[in-house]
Amino acid sequence: MITVHHLENSRSQRILWMLEELEVPYDIKRYEREPTMQAPAALRAVHPLGKSPVITDGERTLAESGAILEYLADTYGKGRLKPAPGTPERIHYSYFLHYAEGSLMPLLLLRLIFNRMPDRLPFLLKPVGRAISAGANKTLLDPQFANHFAFIEGELAKREWFAGAEFSAADIQMSFPLEAAAARAPVVRQMPRISAFLDRIHLRPAYKRALEKGGPFELMK
């Protein structure tokens, strides 16, 4: 039996969704974030990095969202949710499985850090923190977001889903950075195809079932 070590409001929501799409039975072990927003130490007993998602499947322990999604598609997919090897779709699939965490998420994490930095400073330093944060957002991050969102919008103009005409695990992987973008770089909602992608995934029955099982899912600004 698969166990998903599920941290509230986190990337592990994607794994619940994948399992719901595949209709594979699983258990959920829940973890709450510390007041610092870090994962609790208990997760380090499952995997040395102590991050979520992690799954266990029998004797196997697996971390890293993209690797978990690939493992689930390969092991339980029966050909579903991943394009056949050697096809153009498979190349897009692989690209977006990596791009989501390798290129897009670091920018969204930086945004979160700069947004929250002023709150963490002593009262008298807050104006300085706010100025640094505003400067970094404007000169460093906003141009990056404009570039990435235009790129993603262009990709979705060529194909209905990230890999091709069929929904795949690459769409599940891309959902988290795009949901985080909707919270932290709301200009993303002005991109018609990205916005339609978000609306479309929210309507999927498996997405809704995963939300019911995973609990509230609200990403920080």
Ligand X SMILES: N[C@@H](CCC(=O)N[C@@H](CS)C(=O)NCC(=O)O)C(=O)O
Residues that bind ligand X (CB under 6 A): 7, 10-11, 38-39, 51-53, 64-65, 101
| Minimal distance, residue 11 CB to ligand X, in Å | 4
| Minimal distance, residue 115 CB to ligand X, in Å | 16
When the beta carbons of 87 and 217 are compared against ligand X, the nearer one is: 217
When the beta carbons of 52 and 168 are compared against ligand X, the nearer one is: 52
| Minimal distance, residue 188 CB to ligand X, in Å | 18
DSSP lists the bridge partners of residue 55 as 4, 62
| Minimal distance, residue 220 CB to ligand X, in Å | 10
When the beta carbons of 23 and 32 are compared against ligand X, the nearer one is: 32
When the beta carbons of 42 and 146 are compared against ligand X, the nearer one is: 42
Two structure tokens written together for 186: 């709301």
Give CA separation, 94 vs 68, 162, 171, in Å: 13, 10, 11
| Minimal distance, residue 120 CB to ligand X, in Å | 16
When the beta carbons of 39 and 107 are compared against ligand X, the nearer one is: 39
